[in-house]
Chains A and B, each alone.
Chain A
Amino acid sequence: MSPLVLAFLVLALLTCGSALSMVWTKNLLHAALAMFLTMLGLAGLYVLAFADVLAVAHLLVYVGGVLILILFGIMLTNQTDAKTGKNHLMTRESNRLLPISLGLSFFLGLFWLFTKGPWVNNLPVTGDSKLKEVGLGLLTEYAFPFELAGVFLLIALIGATFVAKSHD
C-alpha cells in the first residue's frame, strides 16, 4: 500500500467517523465539534486530490467562519430547563429507524452505482499544486463569476445582518 493511499485511508476514516458521530450524538455542541473534525478531514482529502487552494479556503471558511456562526447560533438560541435551570443542549429526535435506514439505503445504492460505473483509473494526473492555475483562471477566464461571487457574498452578509437585527 502506497503512503498516499494510507494517508487517504486515515483522512477518510476521520471524515466518515466524525460524520457518523454527528448522526449518533444528541448533544448540539458535540455535533458542532464533530463537524469541525469532518471539515478538517475533508480539507485533507482535498489536498490528496491536488486541490490545495480549495483545501486552504475550505479550512478558513468552515473552521474560521461557519463553525463560529454555528456556535453563536447555539449560544443565542439556548433554552434552559425550567425545572433544573440547566442546559444540556440535547436535541430531540424523530424515530431513529426510518432516517437511518433511509440514509443507509442511499449509501448502499450510491456505493453500488459507483462501483458498477465504468471509471477510467489510469488517467494522467495534472501537476501537483494548482495555485498558479487557479489564481490566473480566477482573474482571466472566470473573472466575471469571481466578481459576482464577491458581490453575492456582500449582499448575503448585509442581508443576514438586516434579518438578524431586532425589528421592533
Chain B
Amino acid sequence: MTDIPVIYFLWVSAFLFATGLSILLLKKNTIFVLMGIELILNAANLNLVAFSKNDPSLQGLYLGIFVLVVGVCEMAIALAIVLQVYRNYRAIEVDQFTSEY
C-alpha cells in the first residue's frame, strides 16, 4: 500500500496554523477570533493524526479524539461568554470591551 509522506501533512498543518494566527491578530469580531482559534486547534490535531499513521499503538489518534472534545467544550463556553458580553456591552468587537463604556 502506498503511503503519503508525513511531511505533506505537516506542511498543511503549518499553513492552517499560520492562517489561524493571522485571523486571530487581524479580525476584530470576537466570533471571528474564535474561528481562528479553532483553526489552530485543528492544525495541532492534524499533526497528531499524521504521526499516529505509522504508530501501531495509535496514541496520537486517541489524543486527537480528546482534543476534539475539549475544542467543542471551549467553543460552547466561549460563545456563551460572547453572548453575555454582548448583552452587557452591546458590542461584539474586541477593542470595544473597555471599562469606560
Which residues from chain A sit less than 8 Å from chain B, CB to CB? 2, 4-5, 8, 12, 15-16, 19-20, 22-23, 28, 31-32, 35, 38-39, 42, 45-46, 48-51, 53-54, 57-58, 61-62, 65-66, 69-70, 72-74, 76-77, 79, 91-94, 96, 98-100, 102-104, 106-107, 110-111, 114-115, 117, 119, 121-126, 128, 130, 133-134, 137-138, 142, 145, 149, 152-153, 156-157, 159-161, 163-164, 166
Q: Give, as a whole number of angstroms, the nearest-CB distance from A57 to chain B.
A: 6
Q: Is the CB of B7 within 8 A of A119?
A: yes
- Residue numbers in A under 8 Å from B68 (CB-CB): 54, 57-58, 61
Q: Is B27 a contact partner of A93 (Cβ separation < 8 A)?
A: yes
Cβ–Cβ < 8 Å partners of A92 in chain B: 28-29, 93
B62 close to A91 (CB less than 8 A): no
B5 near A73 (CB under 8 angstroms)? no
A-B contact pairs, 11 of them (CB 8 A): A31-B35, A49-B46, A54-B68, A66-B72, A98-B25, A125-B53, A126-B54, A152-B73, A163-B77, A163-B80, A163-B83
**Residues on the A chain within 8 Å of B12, using CB:** 12, 15-16, 45
Q: Which residues of A contact B87 (CB under 8 A)?
A: 166
Contact assessment for A77 and B31 in the assembled complex, using a CB-CB cutoff below 8 Å: yes
User: Min CB distance, A53 to chain B, in Å?
Assistant: 7
Whether A160 touches B7, Cβ cut-off 8 Å, given contacts A70-B34, A94-B25, A96-B26, is no
Residue of A nearest to B18 (CB): A107
Secondary structure at the B interface, as helix, strand, loop or mixed, is helix
Q: For the A-B complex with A77-B86, A107-B18, A138-B65 known, give 14 more contacts whose Cβ atoms are closer than 8 Å.
A: A16-B15, A28-B29, A73-B79, A93-B27, A98-B25, A102-B21, A104-B22, A106-B17, A110-B14, A119-B7, A134-B62, A149-B65, A156-B73, A157-B73
- On chain A, the residues within 8 Å of B69 by CB distance are 149, 152-153
> B31 to A70, Cβ gap below 8 A?
yes
Which residues of chain B come closer than 8 Å to A122, judged between CB atoms? 3
